[in-house]
Amino acid sequence: MTSLRVTDTPIATASAVEALAAFGRFAAARGWVPATAGNFSLRLDDAHALVTRSGIDKGNVGADDVAVVPLAGPIPAGLSAETPLHLARYRADAAVGAIVHVHTVAATVLSRADEARGAVRFAGFEMQKALRGVTTHAATVELPVFGNDQDTAALAARIEARLSAGAVPGYLLAGHGVYAWGATMSDARRHLEGLEFLLACTLEERRIGR
């Protein structure tokens, strides 16, 4: 039987903390993390991630606002209730190096509108090419929508059962917000920015009846 020794837990480096803090400042400046919403994480090694704590101002993240979490659990006290969604992504795909989650208006509104359909569809947008594996505006991109659930361990299992390798690097939680990920924090941020732009355009198009 093996157990995790203290020395097996990596130390959160200043650069890893700063990567989460920088993303928090970026998201806060856009109004994407209102009222302490949102959570971000970074893979530290094949068994640990650095995750933001809950209830903190995500625009002002410091070293005391993050925690090293074993991907296999247990989850330390004081972390976001959504931490299981992060850990499940890292366990499912070794290529995932960073995960970002924010609550934007477009993601919240469209996820409610398209929950029954199970996905928001994008077609014809040049911005689709911001997403890993999409090379043309002519492709149809499906961003999955999952029903929100306060039992995030059960929700994580439902999400991972539906996501496939090579799919869009993100999903929506109905009435809640958007998740995106990538190999690095800059990849995750690019995917989130691309998805948010596509969601904002789609919301505007529905407003004008297109």
Q: Which among 108-116, 118-126, 129-137, 173-181 is the span making contact with Zn ion, rule CB under 5 A?
A: 173-181
Q: Which among 88-96, 110-118, 159-167, 176-184 is the span making contact with Zn ion, rule CB under 5 A?
A: 176-184
Contact between 98 and 41 under an 8 Å Cβ cutoff? The reply is yes
Residue 91 CB, nearest approach to Zn ion (Å): 20
Identify which of residues 82 and 187 has a Cβ nearer to Zn ion in the complex: 82
Q: Which among 7-15, 22-30, 44-52, 170-178 is the span making contact with Zn ion, rule CB under 5 A?
A: 170-178
Residue 66 CB, nearest approach to Zn ion (Å): 17
> Residue 70 in 3-state DSSP?
strand
- What token pair was written down for 96? 């995932």
Residue nearest to Zn ion (CB): 177
Terminal CA-CA length for the chain: 60
Where do we find the tokens 């732009």?
197
Identify which of residues 9 and 148 has a Cβ nearer to Zn ion in the complex: 148
Q: Can you tell me the distance from the alpha carbon of 159 to that of 188, in angstroms, rounded to the nearest whole number? A: 18
Query: Within 90-129, which residues bind Zn ion (CB under 5 A)?
Result: none
Residue 208 CB, nearest approach to Zn ion (Å): 29
Q: CA-CA distances (angstroms) from residue 103 to 69, 91, 100, 191, 195?
A: 23, 24, 10, 15, 13
Contact positions vs Zn ion (CB under 5 A): 177
